Amino acid sequence: MIELKNITKKFHQKNKEITALSEVSLTVPKGKIFGVIGASGAGKSTLIRCVNLLERPTSGEVIVDGRNLMALSAADLAKERRQIGMIFQHFNLLSSRTVSENIAFPLELDKLPKQEINTRVAELLALVGLEEKHNDYPANLSGGQKQRVAIARTLASNPKVLLCDEATSALDPATTKSILDLLKDINKRLDITILLITHEMDVVKNICDQVAVISGGELIEQGSVSEIFAHPKMEITKEFIASSLKINIPVEYLERLSAKKEGNKKPLLKLEFTGQSADDPVLSEVSRLFELDNNIIFAQIEYAGGVKFGAMVIEVSGTEGNHEKAIEFYNSKQIRVEVLGYV
Ligand SMILES: Nc1ncnc2c1ncn2[C@@H]1O[C@H](COP(=O)(O)OP(=O)(O)OP(=O)(O)O)[C@@H](O)[C@H]1O
């Protein structure tokens, strides 16, 4: 449904040239949810804005539903853009219009008869669960409700593609979850293809089928969510996966934690598992092989695209030489180990 071919985007500022995107190629199949994840300044916004030509790529091709957008006349492009909905981090609602009037706006632009608009708005209000708020103004809505209005307004023109520009970044975790559930529901129910950009792996984990990692304007890794979570290759990808785990170390351990080994303090290790390594009984293996005792302080296992991944914090008893052997063993099993300190 969406195909970006070798997209490069350069900005010119005074006499400086900034390459925001460099030879970016990706394909989003119809009906799928594709996430692009990256840190601030990586080029995410530029990338998503290239899909509907809000930014015109310096070179490359943008193909949506088989049409090469860069080759279209202004009039044809305007028509094609109606098929590509977009929602934003800050909702972009019209503050002087009620919820219903905001949703009706694109339909009024299309000059639909009043009765038809009313029927469609009622359907959309029901779809996003905002029937009771139809007469409220945006200022009186929560962030999550505002994003629901923005989603309903975008869906009014029956787009085949929905672009989400950090759509949940301004929302708290519970509201984020409810908006992601709504996007997933829309994707399934209306068969809309979704391309989203985010800096949170949680978003990818929750709703995406496929993911690409962007860094310095380049797509450095992409694949199905299960592939990427099971076998992340790039260090940045591994960090994004780890960042979606909320590791909690009890305060009493943190108070005792020192950076250096002193007296008979024991190492506190953080282990990160992905894919196969999350299924292996490595703790008992290490315990047997190296005569170590593991005291689990914290553990979390999550699922993404049917793949397990997780992290564990353990306090390890035994001799120092064997601690090092254990770390080597974990590394040989593709488990990332960090010595957090000594307790
Ligand atoms: N209109 C512009 N003029 C000049 N440089 C720009 C312009 N828009 C973006 N850039 C530059 O392009 C690079 C990518 O920016 P972009 O906004 O796409 O990143 P991002 O990943 O979306 O970041 P964030 O998450 O902080 O919004 C940055 O170096 C940015 O400064």
**For 162-199, how does the pLDDT look when each residue is reduced to its tens digit (9 = 90+)?**
999 999 999 999 999 999 999 999 999 999 999 999 99
CATH class of 245-342: alpha beta
| Nearest protein CA to atom 26 of ligand 1, as residue | 40
- If you average pLDDT over residues 15-20, what whole number do you get? 94
Residue ranges of the chain that CATH labels 3.30.70.260? 245-342
Give the chain as a 3 state SS string.
CEEEEEEEEEEEECCEEEEEEEEEEEEECCCCEEEEECCCCCCHHHHHHHHCCCCCCCEEEEEECCEEHHHCCHHHHHHHHCCEEEEECCCCCCCCCCHHHHHHHHHHHCCCCHHHHHHHHHHHHHHCCCHHHCCCCHHHCCHHHHHHHHHHHHHCCCCCEEEEECCCCCCCHHHHHHHHHHHHHHHHHHCCEEEEEECCHHHHHHHCCEEEEEECCEEEEEEEHHHHHHCCCCHHHHHHHHHCCCCCCCHHHHHHCECCCCCCCCEEEEEEEEHHHHCCCHHHHHHHHHCCEEEEEEEEEEEECCEEEEEEEEEEECCHHHHHHHHHHHHHCCCEEEEEEEC
Residue 280 has pLDDT above 90, yes or no: no
| Nearest protein CA to atom 11 of ligand 1, as residue | 20
Q: Is 73 in the pocket of ligand 1 (CB under 6 A)?
A: no
* Res 274: pLDDT: 79
| Nearest protein CA to atom 24 of ligand 1, as residue | 40
Residue 145 has pLDDT above 90, yes or no: yes
The average confidence (pLDDT) of the chain is 93
For the ranges 146-155, 223-232, 274-283, 297-306, the lowest mean pLDDT is seen at 274-283
ipTM attached to this prediction = 0.96
- What is the per-residue pLDDT across 21-58, written as a single tens digit (0 to 9) for each? 999 999 999 999 999 999 999 999 999 999 999 999 99
Report the percentage of the chain scoring pLDDT > 70. Answer: 100
Residue 306 has pLDDT above 80, yes or no: no
Which ligand 1 atom is the nearest neighbour of the CA of 199?
Answer: 25
Q: What's the 21 CA to ligand 1 centre distance in angstroms?
A: 9
Please give the residue that has the higher pLDDT: either 25 or 228. Answer: 25
Residue 136 has pLDDT above 80, yes or no: yes
* Res 14: pLDDT: 86
Residue ranges of the chain that CATH labels 3.40.50.300? 2-242
CATH class of 2-242: alpha beta
Residue 277 has pLDDT above 80, yes or no: no
